[in-house]
Amino acid sequence: MSLIILIIATLFTTAQLSDNDMNDPRRTLNLMPLPAELETTGGVFELDSTFAVGFETEPTRRLVNGVNRFMHRMGGRTGIFFDHPHLTKETRVESPKLVISIKREGMLVLEEDESYRLTISPGRINLEAETDIGALYGLETLIQLLNTDRGGYIFPGVTVTDAPRFPWRGLMIDAARHFMPVDVIKRNLDGMLAMKLNVFHWHLTEDQGFRVESRVFPELHRQGSDGFYYTQEQIRDVIAYAADRGIRVVPEFDIPGHTTSWFVGHPELASERRRYEIERRFGIMDPTMDPTREEVYDFLDRFLGEMAALFPDNYMHIGGDEVTGVHWMENERIRRFMEEREMEGHRDLQAYFNNRVLAILQKHGKIMVGWEEILHEEMPKNIVIQSWYGRDSMIEAARGGYQSILSNGYYIDLIQPTDVHYVNNPLPPDSPLTDDEKKLILGGEATMWSEFVSPETIDSRIWPRMAAIAEVYWSEDVPTVNLPQRGRETVIPADMLTPEIRSMIADMYRRLDVISLQIEEHGLTHIRNYEVLLRRLVNGYETGRLRTLVDVIEPVKIYRRPAQRVYTSHSPLTRVVDAARPDAKVARDFRELVRVFLEEGATDVQKKAEIRRQLEMWRDNHQQLLPVIRRSPILEEIRPLSEKLSQLSELGLTALDLIGSDRFQDREWMALRMQQIENARQPHGQTEIMITTAIEKLLLKVPN
For a second copy, the binding residues (CB under 8 A) are 71-72, 75-82, 85-86, 88, 148, 150-153, 181-183, 226, 231, 233, 280, 455-456, 513, 517, 520-521, 523, 525, 527-529, 531-532, 535-536, 539-541, 565, 568, 570-575, 630-634, 637
Q: How far is the CB of 542 from a second copy (least distance, A)?
A: 11
d(CA 15, CA 597): 17
User: What DSSP string runs through 193-255?
Assistant: HHTT--EEEEE-EETTEE-B--SSSTHHHHHHSTT--B-HHHHHHHHHHHHTTT-EEEEE---
Shortest Cβ 535–a second copy spacing (Å): 6
> 333 near 323, Cβ under 8 Å?
no
51 and 93 in contact (C-beta within 8 Å)? no
Yes or no: say if 318 and 354 are a contact pair by the CB < 8 Å rule: yes
Cis peptide before 85 (omega within 30 of 0): no
**CB nearer to a second copy: pick between 171 and 573:** 573
What is the gyration radius of the CA atoms in the chain, in angstroms?
27
Of 181 and 283, CB closest to a second copy: 181
Question: What is the helix (H) or strand (E) element at residue 358, kind and residue range?
Answer: helix 346-363
The nearer residue to a second copy, 165 or 178, going by C-beta atoms, is 178
Select 326 or 527, whichever has its Cβ closest to a second copy. Answer: 527
Cβ distance to a second copy smaller for residue 272 or 520: 520
Altogether, the residues listed in the chain come to a count of 704
Looking at the Cβ atoms of 110 and 579, the one nearer to a second copy is 579
Instruction: Give helix 639-658 / helix 605-631 axis angle, nearest 10°.
Output: 160
Is cis: bond before 256, omega within 30 of 0?
yes
CA dist., res. 202 & res. 183, Å (int): 14
Give CA–CA dist 691/680, Å, rounded.
Answer: 10
Our CB check for a second copy shows the closer of 570 and 667 to be 570
Name, in order, each residue with C-beta under 8 angstroms of 298's C-beta and a sequence gap of 6 or more. Answer: none
Contact predicate 151/178, CB 8 Å: no
Nearest approach, Cβ of residue 76 and a second copy (Å):
4
Catalytic residue among 322, 592, 637, 650: 322
Write b or e for each residue in 427-442: b if 16 or more Cβ atoms lie within 10 A of its Cβ, otherwise e: beeebeeeeebeebbb
> Please, which residue, 11 or 36, has the CB nearer to a second copy?
11
Q: At what angle do helices 639-658 and 692-700 cross, to 10 degrees?
A: 30
The number of beta carbons lying within 10 Å of the beta carbon of residue 300 is 22
C-alpha to C-alpha distance for 525 and 293, rounded to whole angstroms: 46
Closer CB to a second copy, 82 or 422, in the complex: 82
Q: Given the complex with a second copy, which of 152 and 601 has the nearer CB atom?
A: 152
Residue among 699, 642, 630 nearest 667 (CA):
699
Kind of pairing between the strands at 403-406 and 441-448 = parallel
For a second copy, give the closer residue by CB, 87 or 368. 87
Whole-Å CA distances, 543 to 225, 322, 526, 537? 36, 42, 17, 9
Please report how close the Cβ of residue 571 comes to a second copy at its closest, in angstroms.
Answer: 5
Q: How far is the CB of 86 from a second copy (least distance, A)?
A: 5
> Among 231, 391, 360, 383, which residue's Cα sits nearest to residue 291?
360
Phi/psi zone of residue 44: left (φ > 0), alpha (ψ -120 to 50 degrees), beta? beta
687 strand-pairing partners: 555, 684
d(CA 524, CA 417): 20
Instruction: Decide if 130 is catalytic.
Output: no
**Beta carbon nearer to a second copy, 78 or 121:** 78
* Exposure b/e, 379-395, CB count within 10 A at least 16 = b: beeebbbbbbbbbebbb
Give the integer Cα–Cα distance in Å for 606 and 127: 47
Q: How far is the CB of 51 from a second copy (least distance, A)?
A: 13
Query: How far apart are alpha carbons 645 and 621 in whole angstroms?
Result: 9
Least distance in Å: CB of 184 to a second copy? Answer: 9
Active-site residue set:
322
